[in-house]
Structure 1
């Protein structure tokens, strides 16, 4: 091969590879599972060294090498050298902060996808693919994936996966990643429906925090799903000898699934934004109701306060007959009370007539 040597650059960068343990120690040694298969044959085993991979590559029409964790830079470098993987692509495969993408090389394709965590959370992990003639190599950050259905199809020879080549195997794996987003979105939809009932049924200030968390979840999903659209679009648009024409319709199906996911996410985002508006409107209406009650009470007591303040003035009646003659009336006090009650009753009747108490 006329490519630059792989081992030394990767060994130099090994110190910067991702940490997989909580205590910050170096990543664990890679776990390598190899599945070799053809129309009438199938072998699945754990590989311990590169020689096993070379043997299976020469034995089976198609092999799938699944590498989990990147703790052994020398081993990964040897794998890259044996399969003549491009150095820059191999560096991207083990540095797990890549955006979903596809890169074309002379004898292989390099793809990056984001897979949802299998534990039910919305965290994603990077999965890198090398697709060449007769082989698919996947690099995963940690154990646990959504590929078990693909493994089962290979074991049972279900469909055309054993006969359609490495490009179809890569499609099946990518399709499994994309399809794993649908159950996650279904759970998000259930949460959104529960939030909708909560916001409409009980508009409390505490609802705003779950709504913002929901919007954040949907934003994370959108950022994870959206770049896959360009990946499949490029695979469909650009001709490459590794992708057979009969397998292109399957890639188009993946593209349609990504578009469907984006539509669902956008719909949920609009619903979440609408719920925020409904929540704020409900809180505002609730506050307006409180303010209306207080305003009505204040309106009723304003004339009562006025009457009481008038009769509370200390003008000397001996100085002038015009100084509050009502204070000398025999029924002055009952008159003041009746006047207050009449004023209050009149205001209540007026407010009721306007419909402000209904």
Structure 2
């Protein structure tokens, strides 16, 4: 079936240096379209680009010369292979370019083998409907960052190429503000006396704890990530202890704020596990500290019965790709974490 086209862009190459066709066009396409170089390459190879004589230019590596006039026909976005599903969402903000959603714990962000339905993307396809103008030539929401299935909180998704590329660029450059709240085993504020020699650990003047390491796949369990000294990708997290829960003289738990400077897979969970202050309920990165609390009869079931990592994306800030305005959003801890916090408070108050 022949493609239908919704618009046409007429361009003239203005660079006097010798450039590949895809690179030259990426430079001169109006910013309002928000096309990445990969998207331009896709348009070229699909036969959407022609010269002034109507000759198709199908080689992205072909040479573009000064004064070359081209037309780009913009096809209607293809329908997504994923199915829209009517799933209730908590939308924090939405406009024509993007939306911010408060994802519940237990929801997978993107379909994958074994989880083809019930994901955030399926829900967004239904919610957005015809308002999706297409990302990468497909009618789908653009996911520029992810939150683990059992982590709750704020996530931004793009509805247009402009928003997708603009947001992705901010995440790559670490210009996005991301803060999380976590309830963890033990009290990281007590680290000063016990763990000064932990690799990558720095105590900053503002009472924040900074950990800077490399994170890569676990050497033996490929489903897990781990801190490595000589391989992996750079990862930086800052922690601020908001409250300690000390019960019967033992540093049982803490409420901490985590700020991401980078965004590696499982980064907060891995860094806290590295510090031996794993997140309560984390079934993948279990904490050794929990074993020391077996004699606290009333506390043991509280920790044992929390079945997901007590981690919530509470703050998200970024520059709107179209308007340039800084947007900042916040989300309170969900009920399960609030209840856990109160139960720890009650145990502390009994002393």
The normalised TM-score by structure 2 is 0.24
Relative contact order (alpha carbons < 8 A, sep ≥ 6): 1 or 2 greater?
Answer: 2
The normalised TM-score by structure 1 is 0.23
